[in-house]
Chains A and B, each alone.
Chain A
Amino acid sequence: MLEGKKVAILGDRDGVPGPAIEECIKSAGAEVVFTTTECFV
């Protein structure tokens, strides 16, 4: 499902941060086009 897709990552500093998600998504074969770590609250 992720392979070949463009992915926008909205991480959370109190949850899973953007860079951690980015590593995961890259390993799944998708292209990360945007990563941020916001405070969701």
Chain B
Amino acid sequence: MDLENQQRVKDLAEKHGKDNLVVILGGAEAEASGLACETVTNGDPTFAGPLAGVQLGLACYHILEPEIKDEVDPEVYDEQVSMMEMVLDVDEIIDEVSTYREKYSQF
């Protein structure tokens, strides 16, 4: 996750409250999505960015996860996401992101 976005997420968590901010990912790959989830929950695993050692514990989901999909207007989801849902490895992405969320998210 790039350093600029780490700073943005850190600032937003301070501004809106960690319990009130949800991060939604759209990553194409499971590993990269998992790393982004780890970064906004447990801190930057590479210790390079503003979130190094900062455990925000935010709620973090991938847009393909059922918890999110079920809350979106089905027509909008179909129009915006269904194409990518067909080509991405949904199970692997969900498995990776939910693992980090369950381990580190506090909300």
Residues of A within 8 A of B (CB): 1-3, 5-12, 14-18, 20-21, 23-25, 27-30, 33-34, 36-38, 40-41
Contact = CB atoms under 8 A, between A and B. Distances in A.
B24 A10 contact: yes
B59 to A, nearest CB: 8
| Smallest CB-CB A-B distances: 10 pairs | A15-B28, A16-B26, A27-B73, A11-B26, A40-B32, A20-B80, A14-B28, A28-B71, A24-B72, A6-B16
Contacts of A16: 26, 28, 63-64, 80-81, 84
B28 A40 contact: yes
Interface stretch (B4-12, B45-53, B98-106): B4-12
Interface of B: 1-2, 5, 8-9, 12, 16, 20-29, 32-33, 36, 63-64, 67-68, 71-73, 76-77, 79-81, 84, 88
